[in-house]
Amino acid sequence: MQVAHPSTLQSSASLAGMNKSVLRRMDQRGPRYTSYPTADRFTSDFAVTDYLHAVSDRRSMSAWRALSLYLHIPFCDTICYYCACNKIVTKNRAKAALYLSYLKREISMQGSLFSGMNQVEQLHFGGGTPTYLSDEQMSDLMDHIRHCFTLAPDHVGEYSIEIDPRTVSVERVHKLRQQGFNRISLGVQDFDPEVQLAVNRVQSEEQTLEIIRAARDAGFRSVSIDLIYGLPKQNVMSMSRTLAKVIAASPDRIAVYNYAHMPQLFKTQRQIKEEDLPSADSKLDMLSLCIRQLTSAGYVYIGMDHFAKPTDDLAIAQQQGRLHRNFQGYSTHSETDLVACGVSAISAVGGSYSQNEKTLDDYYARLENSTLPIARGIQLGMDDVLRRLIIQRLMCNFELSINSLEIAYPIVFREYFASEMEKLKQLEEDGLIKIEPEWITVEPKGRLLIRNICMVFDRYLNQEREKAASQNKDAPQRYSQTV
């Protein structure tokens, strides 16, 4: 295990003391780096046979790693205007029953492929709203998973589900625990009634707190709350009130996401009035407030938009240098391959990424032909793997050991990344990083801008921007703002 560089152990209390002029200059559009290369670099040249080769290569390894399993449940009862997820809004429950019949086919196919090496240590249900499924449907699906894969014991495995507190009762929470889930994530976004109305997600404080209490009573190991800053009608005062209520509820983890307003890409966001959105300066003030208020309450700033109690597995994993980042965000299971099932779901097996079909019709058609519903992906070369490792370590540990990379790869770091080193010098002048002979360390203030720092090493992004600049064009606006 890599030993953490001493400067990464500094208190996160100073993170909010960032120069606003630097923040404004660095507030660009950029990836969140749940993968590298990012999903927009996947191509249809990657086929099912490429995925099968990746699984075959895994089988030929002398030691098999445990698996992480992700299931995508795309359905929602109602639309939240801010949402940018791949979802289907419907009250027709028959659609979920049909979807489950195909999802179980895919799970069976993946289970057969990984037969004999199918130990799962991490399971995550996302969406959409996974609790759109009924108790009976969820029990049946969990039974099917256990038939196709071997789930690690409860005290070893991390089995999580995203829930909408408006869709579950206290009894349902207890049932989810009985079904095998031991971590639960609640979407809250904001407790302010005006904000809730503006984004079409009215959810009372008591409703949320009741579900948190139920999760504690049911024996869930971890309770997480999701918030968003930058929503319409939000301001620093309303955000402070929401944070105070969240802190009083004492969840184990808190995620505070930056709202990405991209109505040109997501039609539902067109329901949001642009004049109701907070200004850029107001958003920066809210971000600063979140960091100050949460760290003052004892939460550890994990990175980007995640906070955790010091006793939480995420905080411990980061301290020990074994934190990981994948499509579900930060994770403690760094050595797992990710097998993802469901429409639009993305797997990461060996040196490859693969994404399923994005529409139900195409997803169903593939499975009708007894074929995995893989639509596109990418096979990583050495340069991709190297840059992925760099981005992972910066994202998770806020440091990079140059010597360890030169030992693991046939490179001289400063020669291989000569152009990147020039860009890093500007970030060092801004006080965001520290460059030493053997280490590149992200300074406490730089944690706010870790996406920008990682973008320096994104070969695809830099080539795209250079090409756009040479043609006197703007680069595609497919990413959210970094701040």
Write down the pLDDT at residue 331.
77
Write down the pLDDT at residue 201.
93
CATH class belonging to 39-341 = alpha beta
Q: Indicate the CATH number for domain 6-30+382-470.
A: 1.10.10.920
Is residue 82 annotated as involved in ligand binding?
yes
Write down the pLDDT at residue 86.
77
Q: For residue 449, what are its two tokens?
A: 């801008």
Write down the pLDDT at residue 266.
84
Tell me which amino acid residue 152 is. Answer: A
Q: Is there a cis peptide before residue 377, judged by omega within 30 degrees of 0? A: no
Residue 122 near residue 329, CB atoms below 8 Å: no
Is residue 322 annotated as involved in ligand binding?
no
DSSP per-residue codes, 173-200: HHHHHHTT--EEEEEEE---HHHHHHTT
Write down the pLDDT at residue 476.
64
pLDDT tens for the chain, 483 residues long, are 343 443 333 333 344 456 667 777 777 888 888 889 999 999 999 999 999 999 999 888 866 788 999 999 999 988 898 988 778 888 888 999 999 999 999 999 999 999 999 999 999 999 889 999 999 999 999 999 999 999 999 999 999 999 999 989 999 999 999 999 999 999 999 999 999 999 999 999 999 999 999 999 999 999 999 999 999 999 999 999 999 999 999 999 999 988 888 888 888 899 999 999 998 888 888 988 999 999 999 999 888 789 999 999 888 988 888 887 877 778 777 668 999 999 999 999 989 999 999 999 999 999 999 999 999 999 999 999 999 999 999 988 899 999 999 999 999 999 999 999 999 999 999 899 999 999 999 998 888 889 999 999 999 999 988 887 787 777 666 677 777
Is residue 215 annotated as involved in ligand binding?
no
Rounded to whole angstroms, the Cα distance separating 220 from 27 reads 38
Is residue 189 annotated as involved in ligand binding?
yes
Is residue 97 annotated as involved in ligand binding?
no
Is residue 127 annotated as involved in ligand binding?
yes
- Predicted model pTM: 0.89
Is residue 221 annotated as involved in ligand binding?
no
**φ/ψ (deg, to 5) at 104:** -65, -30
Domain ranges (residues) in the chain: 6-30+382-470, 39-341
Is residue 84 annotated as involved in ligand binding?
yes
The one-character DSSP state at 268 is G
Q: For residue 154, what are its two tokens?
A: 């409860």
Is residue 36 annotated as involved in ligand binding?
no
Is residue 481 annotated as involved in ligand binding?
no
Q: For residue 33, what are its two tokens?
A: 């780096």
Is residue 341 annotated as involved in ligand binding?
no
Is residue 122 annotated as involved in ligand binding?
no
Write down the pLDDT at residue 145.
98
Is residue 375 annotated as involved in ligand binding?
no
